[in-house]
Amino acid sequence: MSTITKSGFLQFKNTGNPAEVLGVADREVPAPKGHEVRVRVRYAPVNPADLNFMEGTYGRAATPPCIPGHEACGEVDAVGPDVQSLAPGDVVIPLLGTGCWAQHLTAPEHAFAKVPSRIDPAQASMLRVNPVTAWVMLKEFVDLPEGAWVVQNAANSGVGRALIQIARRFGLRTLNFVRRAELADELKALGADEVILDTDEGVAQARAILGKAPVKLAANAVGGDSAIRLMDVLSSEGTMVTYGAMSRRSLKVPNKFLIFKNLSLRGLWVTKWFEKASRERLYDVLEPLTEMILAHELVTAVDCVIPYRDCARAIMRAQENNRGGKVLLDFA
């Protein structure tokens, strides 16, 4: 196992506009030692969290210079002499909090999760954040019986689309708020039961659809008035889980929802979930999600694949609102 004398990576030396602060560099990558594993990265998506991290607005402050990137998929190309769980040729996803935007990653073996070699590496690169967030929201906050309704906003987001597909596997029904009516057919093709405009009129429409059926779980990625509309649709004793703040507006809760509905307001940051999850719990989530990907029951849309050295173009595309899916960085 030799040192790799030239391996590319992306880094930013100060926070700011991601398209301006992100740059390409090269480094030597030494042979792994002890329990270390070296992975040759293939794909890595550009997530909103990555953009926020480079902007300096993420929940965990950056300490530049540093390498961004919360997700990736690659192949083990070398292992340290004490490694037991992985071998060269294994396909893995990193479980690191950040630092994935590099041609080679070296970390302890427990920092990687093995996935089937036949999996689409592009889809696997997007497994760790959005699908896991959706799975945890559906399974760990409210005990939902088969046929129960779940309501969400930002239903066309990465998490929203994953939630629709995972909910269908669990036999749950989804009522999905969106900002554009033309998204309805696309989301229904994924398995959405109802797609409604995120407006006050949409709330009235949702009530008419639901009738007396209880709604005990809402997924909030927007905040502001959109979150209030979710609370309006929730039934008494319902729970709203906030995992994003796309509107960048604070969550202001009308007193009536606490006094008369006794709603529970919870938060989910999947980074913290990974930090606390046991290895057993981790695979209890990753394995069925991997099975869904292999069966084409869980598909994450890809807008474009861009070579990592053209990172400015990739970042600018990821910042646009008219994308058809994720922007992937190609580290081949």
CB distance 14 to 64 below 8 Å:
yes
Which tokens hold the place of 115? Answer: 């996935």
Which tokens hold the place of 209? Answer: 């659809």
DSSP annotation of 245 = -
Phi, psi (deg, nearest 5) at residue 97: -70, -30
Is residue 43 among the annotated active site residues? no
Instruction: Tell how far CA 318 is from the center of its chain.
Output: 14
Which tokens hold the place of 219? Answer: 């997924």
Is residue 45 classed as helix, strand or coil in its secondary structure?
strand
C-alpha–C-alpha distance, residues 332 and 38, integer Å: 15
CB distance 222 to 246 below 8 Å:
yes
Residue with tokens 């209890």: 284
Q: Which of 58, 243, 283, 308 is catalytic?
A: 58
Q: Give the residue numbers annotated as catalytic, written as ranges.
A: 58
